Amino acid sequence: MSYNCAHLNKDAIIASDSRETFIDGTYKDNRQKTFVNREQKIIWSMTGLIKYRDVDIHQMINTIMNWDIVLSEKLTLIENFMCFETQRYYDEFHSDVYFDFFIVENINNHNVLHVFEVKNGTVQMNNSYTYNNYISSGIITKYQKDIEEMVLLSRGNKVDLFQEILMSVEKESGLNDKTVGGPIYIATMNKYGEIKTYIDGEDKKF
């Protein structure tokens, strides 16, 4: 199922693992799920359905996210696309399938977090937040409430904190379903729209 999380205060941070799990239970740890567009001042992350049949979901969504159109139009296109793909998957396998999408955009030196979730062809959530909100999706960790409280109260280095959170979730998943793992991707954006990126806690561009 994977795992990603986001926190919005004046600054914003999004993080995710990079494991792609297949139907037979095997996996690869090379699937990037957090992305940025520095010119457009947006960062985003996704979990859930990654690939279905001949369609690479992430590739399609990243193509749309990098188009030079307003974000609301991008999100409408992505919502319609993911309702179609998750419905198609559900109709074939009769198994619940999710797609969770976190996006932060900078508007006039102010960050806004957009969150939406699609399940089996239907939108389950479509919300926007403007201040001090933490959200996560994917695997349900037993530490969820503790993590949320820790993030909202934290005044320290959010990159280090999110690196620790993802590492703890990866460790927990390794003892259970093994669907979370691989390098940890983190993107931050300050109130001026300046973006920094990290892989496994190290300052690296992606």
pLDDT tens by residue, 63-121: 999 999 999 999 999 999 999 999 999 999 999 999 999 999 999 999 999 999 999 99
Q: How many CA atoms lie within 13 A of 155 on its CB side?
A: 0
pTM for this entry: 0.94
Q: Is the pLDDT of residue 155 over 90?
A: no
Q: Is the pLDDT of residue 156 over 80?
A: no
For all residues of the chain together, what is the average pLDDT? Answer: 93
Which phi and psi angles does 141 have, rounded to 5°? -90, 145
**Which residues make Cβ contacts (< 8 Å) with residue 167, sequence separation at least 6?**
184
